[in-house]
Structure 1
Amino acid sequence: MDVQISGRMLGCLLGKRRPLPLKGQNEADELAYKRFKTCIIQGSSRGGPAASTPLPSGRRCNPRIEFETICQRLELESSPRDPKQAQDVPQTRMQDLQTSVSSPQQHSITVRRSSDTETYKKVQWIWRAAVQPHDSSQQADSNERKPDLKPFANMNVQGMAQRTLWAPSLLNDYCKKKCYEQGDTNLLDCSCDGMIALALGSTVYLWNSETRALVGHFQPSLEPGSPRCRTHTISCLSWSGDGRTLCTGNRRGEIQLWDVDHKQSMWCFKSHLSVVGAVSWKQRLLSSGSTLGHIHHLDPRAPSPVLGAAFQEEGICSLEWSPGNELLASGSKEGLLHIWEGDVAGIKTPCKPVISMKQPSSVKALGWCPWQRKVIATGGGWKDGQLRIWDTQSGSCLKSINTNSQICCLRWAEKRRYLITGHGLPHNLITSWSWEFPSLNPMHQLTGHSQRVLHLAINPDNTNIFSAGADQRFCLWDL
């Protein structure tokens, strides 16, 4: 039944009151209102749809993202609307290219959203080899020349560090009010071959710790006219066990793998709808955690890379597999340390942690003990300052010591049986600890950073420590 009714009458009907009579309103309008009301009452009593006026097509709601489980198997942050679209997951295997030192290499990657049919703007990732370094002796003798602020350029700073280099544009979101919503969990890592990877903004630099020379860097090169935004910023990175593949996560929720030998991008996948807070390898598998609390287990070799998923209510600010790949630890900004089972393949529903532990501050600094595989260490923030050793089987704290300082990061040195911690306020130093159950004793303190020590790495021989601080310095220390 076609019924004409004014917008004023419809609004009054929804408000459960009759419209006020308007000046000049005729009896036809009153009759139309009564007929419209009668149709609605009769439709409600019969259980059928009530008559209504159609909405204009320009104001119809057209949802673009549907939040649902994928075949009742995984609870992901978003899922494709079309099952065929799952085959279009952004996953790229680049062909082998010849490495050229004199000219940059460009690789074009088109990344699709996992939730709709729109595509991102095409991003070209460029590898640039390092140029010949400037003569540091001439720079030191010249008082008129300004300091070179290029990454890994020498700094003439007195301190205990063997060498101090520039690390400009190193992100420092630690001190912000919502410090962990931006990610930036670990931007420094050392491979089994001694290759240092350091993320400065949206660029990843490779520095050879044996030759003490800059190798080159990866950086995104957008199309002309496209503004460079913070979503391209690298939020975390991690080397694979064999040192041939570098994994990076950014603020767009993308996971990208780099073939360092061929200087090319191997694989790119839109894993999250939020910032990738942390990544960790399990042999050839990869786990990533987002600041929304989602953990995805990925196999880059599979057509459908997502193998399993887990979820915690708090945002993830640390993630690490145990040395034997038996357990996965995730730290939250609410101070919870969760331990997850190592079997991630074939999970039908999002799993729950095996055990959870609580500390007063965010669990950003986290690391498994290499020689005691059920033991994990965590560091507290500036309101806490406690260095804790946990037994993940019982959930009990084996040892806790007050450092009177903010703990921003930590690493284990297996060959020395040391635990290395990087601190913030008030001293901004690096401390080495000897750990033999049940004793935890400080051994050395290294000073040289003027602000927070944000990231730490240790070379394979456990002879050197590498640190990156909020003072834009990259330091090399003799352990």
Structure 2
Amino acid sequence: MRLKLTTGGPNKWRRHDVHATCYRRFRRRILQRSRREAPAVSTPLPTGRRCELTFDLDPVCQRLELDSPPRTHDPDQRLLQGKDQETVLDGDVSLRGFVPVPNTSHIISAKEWPVTENLPEQGWMWKAAVQECCHAQQTGSGVRRHDLQPFAVLHKAAVSLQGKSVMKLAAPSLQNDYYTNVLDCSCTGMVALALGSSVHLWNSETQTLVGCLSPQTGRLRHQSVSSLCWSREGSALCVGTRQGEIQLWDVEKNQNIRCLPSHLSVVGALSWKQHLLSSGSVLGRIHHFDPRTPAPLVGAAVQKAGICSLQWSPCDDWLASGSTDGVLHIWDRDIARLTRLKMPVTTMTQPSAVKAMGWCPWRRKTVASGGGWKDGELRIWDTQSGTCVTSISTNSQICSLRWAEAKRYLVTGHGLPHHQVICWNSEFPSLSPVYQFTGHSQRVLHLALNPDCTQVFSAGVDQCCHIWGL
């Protein structure tokens, strides 16, 4: 032991342990090392059993990307996303280049539209399908679902029977988002299915994968597809993204026709009226476009809640729009105005969002709608009087709805508890189930039918696509 004389008080001797000096020196060295390098461990506890934060956060990040639009680092995009209004209304923002709707009644093909020259800058490209042996990719224990190619055959029935599953295909990366519309079949039998940021085309007649529309590298590579719709003649495909962009593709020529920066929010639904295209966003804006003109925006309308379904009637006289607050609006065909004062012709309400909705092809002014998990009612509406003609409880969430004109059937896709597809015999004013297709393990978000209504295509959250025989 050694003694030291202190000067900060009365003269007296204090004892200091030699270990105190060693501890101060050790502490000083630890602090100096922590400033130069990574933080040092000053505790005797072992660190080998400490958990990585990313292990718990990665699955959460993946789930968030499925249900919310991806973030962009582009300054212009951040500026647009900060606005809460879309500039489509007169009285607030003046629109330049307004072109009235031409008074034509014939259907215009994609060949009559002006083709954009700067295709590489738009960030999307056409990819031909890679011919692979899809039949060898089965759902065995050694094959994971996300490793499968889109439309890979998982199961194929030996004999095609009515009311049974004809084929089961893989649909990897299908978004679990109730408010998307990413499956459609053209009048030529071409099935379009959006998986993440890519749109895959599958020929239902030849049962082959034809091609893929996918974004190139760059700032557009994270633009997830939220809606798509075939033109009525089947030559053009319209694709809407979560960033508010609309792409028009000529599938016959495999080229991009035009890029329409339509909305400042997610494009929830699309619908064609002959040569005119209508789109709806989650901010409640409806835009009408004529893609043949230099200034394509020719009309607009506004509703309070977000739009999750949009469809023109078969006679092109009315437009039905379903909103997230359970309101079904019916608009007239006079779209050549950009004003806040345009009002719907008829308004009908139900307890849940109107996402599953469709016009009856053979009954004028008749619309069917399905309720969500809080409702579960299948309703038939008379749009002229605004009343519900008939309704039936399905005791499950109705996620999608399609009319089969050739069979006079109504087809619905459901969620809990059975995740089934039901085919209804619509003999007005009653509804009775004809077939109940079971095979999905999770809710059936999307439905489509081939041109002759002999097959139903269903896509579910279980990342599978079934083909059912009618």
Residue of structure 1 equivalent to 2:186: 191
Separation of aligned partners in 1, 2:339 and 2:220: 41
1:35-74 equivalences in 2 (<5 Å) = 74=89
Residue of structure 1 equivalent to 2:426: 435
Contact 1:367 1:376 in 2 (8 A): yes
Distance 1:424 1:307, change over 3 A: same
Structure 2 letter corresponding to 1:107? L
Contact 1:167 1:474 in 2 (8 A): yes
Contact 2:138 2:154 in 1 (8 A): no
Contact 1:67 1:78 in 2 (8 A): no
Match of 1:161 among 158, 161, 165: 165
Structure 2 letter corresponding to 1:74? L
Separation of aligned partners in 2, 1:151 and 1:453: 17
Separation of aligned partners in 1, 2:446 and 2:226: 13
Q: CA deviation at 1:127?
A: 1.1
Distance 1:75 1:457, change over 3 A: farther
- Amino-acid identity (%): 56
- For residue 286 of structure 2, give the secondary structure of its aligned residue in structure 1: strand
Contact 1:190 1:457 in 2 (8 A): yes
Residue of structure 1 equivalent to 2:53: none
Residue of structure 1 equivalent to 2:393: 402
Distance 1:68 1:469, change over 3 A: closer
Separation of aligned partners in 2, 1:286 and 1:85: 16
Separation of aligned partners in 1, 2:234 and 2:91: 30
Q: CA deviation at 1:245?
A: 0.3
Match of 1:472 among 453, 463, 468: 463
Separation of aligned partners in 1, 2:242 and 2:154: 30
Separation of aligned partners in 1, 2:362 and 2:429: 14
1:291 aligns with 2:286: no
Distance 1:450 1:143, change over 3 A: closer
1:300 aligns with 2:322: no
1:108 aligns with 2:120: yes
Q: CA deviation at 1:155?
A: 1.2
Which runs of 5 or more residues in structure 1 are unaligned? 1-62, 96-105, 110-122, 175-179
Distance 1:391 1:308, change over 3 A: same
Residue of structure 2 equivalent to 1:210: 205
Contact 1:68 1:75 in 2 (8 A): no
Residue of structure 1 equivalent to 2:358: 367
Contact 1:67 1:79 in 2 (8 A): no
294-303 vs 389-398, which moves further:
294-303
TM-score (norm 1): 0.72
Contact 1:408 1:455 in 2 (8 A): yes
Residue of structure 2 equivalent to 1:313: 304
Structure 1 stretches (4+) deviating beyond 6 angstroms?
63-70, 76-80
Q: CA deviation at 1:129?
A: 0.8
Q: CA deviation at 1:285?
A: 0.2
Match of 1:277 among 265, 268, 279: 268
Match of 1:170 among 149, 171, 174: 174
Residue of structure 2 equivalent to 1:221: 216
Separation of aligned partners in 2, 1:163 and 1:76: 54
- For residue 176 of structure 2, give the secondary structure of its aligned residue in structure 1: coil
1:343-422 equivalences in 2 (<5 Å) = 343-346=334-337, 350-422=341-413
After superposition, the C-alpha distances for 1:81-106 in whole angstroms (9 at most, x for unaligned) are xx5999xxxx97236xxxxxxxxxx9
Q: CA deviation at 1:302?
A: 1.4
Q: CA deviation at 1:132?
A: 1.5
After superposition, the C-alpha distances for 1:356-383 in whole angstroms (9 at most, x for unaligned) are 0010000000000000120000000111
Distance 1:199 1:228, change over 3 A: same
Match of 2:115 among 65, 86, 93: 93
Residue of structure 2 equivalent to 1:54: none
Distance 1:434 1:228, change over 3 A: same
Distance 1:76 1:93, change over 3 A: farther
- For residue 364 of structure 2, give the secondary structure of its aligned residue in structure 1: coil
Contact 2:97 2:295 in 1 (8 A): no
After superposition, the C-alpha distances for 1:1-44 in whole angstroms (9 at most, x for unaligned) are xxxxxxxxxxxxxxxxxxxxxxxxxxxxxxxxxxxxxxxxxxxx
Q: CA deviation at 1:142?
A: 8.7
Contact 1:68 1:79 in 2 (8 A): no
Separation of aligned partners in 1, 2:127 and 2:438: 33
Aligned residues: 372
Which runs of 5 or more residues in structure 2 are unaligned? 1-78, 100-112, 158-162
1:134 aligns with 2:133: yes
Contact 1:75 1:309 in 2 (8 A): no
Contact 1:68 1:78 in 2 (8 A): no
Separation of aligned partners in 2, 1:437 and 1:249: 35
Separation of aligned partners in 2, 1:276 and 1:236: 7
Contact 2:398 2:413 in 1 (8 A): yes
Structure 1 letter corresponding to 2:326? G
Contact 2:114 2:292 in 1 (8 A): no
Residue of structure 2 equivalent to 1:248: 239
